[in-house]
Copies of this chain bind each other. A is one copy, B any other.
């Protein structure tokens, strides 16, 4: 009989350890041994649960993506107007867990691995499609035919600010970045009128 509690807790611990390890090394070039050690188990167990190193890493990316999605939903709750929803969408990318050092490092590393890893590529596409469609559906009532272009621009601003942040030192100011994008969007929307 499987023991789902142990199984899921081990998997969770390994995924967390993988993200932490990626953050510490700043690369996807981590070892199964390192991840397992950090999770307090043997490397053989990591293989037992995930089968391969790639599976651990894509599970980690999936976990980050889920966190981002959850953050987005949380911020959308109770928000109605399109402009306010856009604010929430933008803020979601700079809030919650998304701005933890190791998450940024992992995110960046996944962008790289999407170049050659099929599954990483697929997951990255999911994120991009999700972001674009969220932006688009709230921009359409505000900007009509310009919505697609505006959505691309806002998405680029989000990714651009986010990734530039990855190479900074010192304290980050996620809320400030979100506010900056927001203000820019205000100007772009107003100029259309």
Interface residues of A (CB under 8 A from B): 25-29, 105, 108-109, 111-116, 121, 124-125, 128, 149, 152-153, 155-161, 163-164, 166-167, 180, 184, 187-188, 190-191
Contacts and interface: CB of A to CB of B under 8 A. Distances in A.
Which of A109, A112, A116, A128 counts the most chain B CB atoms within 10 A? A112
A85 to B, nearest CB: 21
Contacts of A108: 111-112, 115
A105 B112 CA distance: 7
22 contacts: A25-B116, A27-B113, A27-B115, A28-B112, A105-B112, A111-B163, A111-B167, A115-B166, A124-B167, A149-B180, A152-B180, A153-B157, A155-B160, A156-B160, A156-B161, A158-B160, A160-B161, A184-B188, A187-B187, A187-B191, A188-B188, A191-B191
A109 B160 CA distance: 16
Nearest to A104: B115
Given A180-B149, A191-B190, A156 B164 contact: yes
Contacts of A156: 156-157, 160-161, 164
A90 B171 CA distance: 28
B159 A163 contact: yes
Nearest to A105: B115
Contacts of A167: 111, 114-115, 121, 124-125, 128
A191 B113 CA distance: 40
Given A159-B164, A160-B156, A29 B29 contact: yes
B160 A180 contact: no
A98 to B, nearest CB: 16
Given A112-B112, A157-B157, 16 more contacts: A26-B112, A26-B113, A26-B115, A26-B116, A27-B113, A28-B112, A105-B112, A108-B111, A108-B115, A109-B112, A114-B167, A115-B166, A152-B161, A156-B156, A187-B191, A188-B188
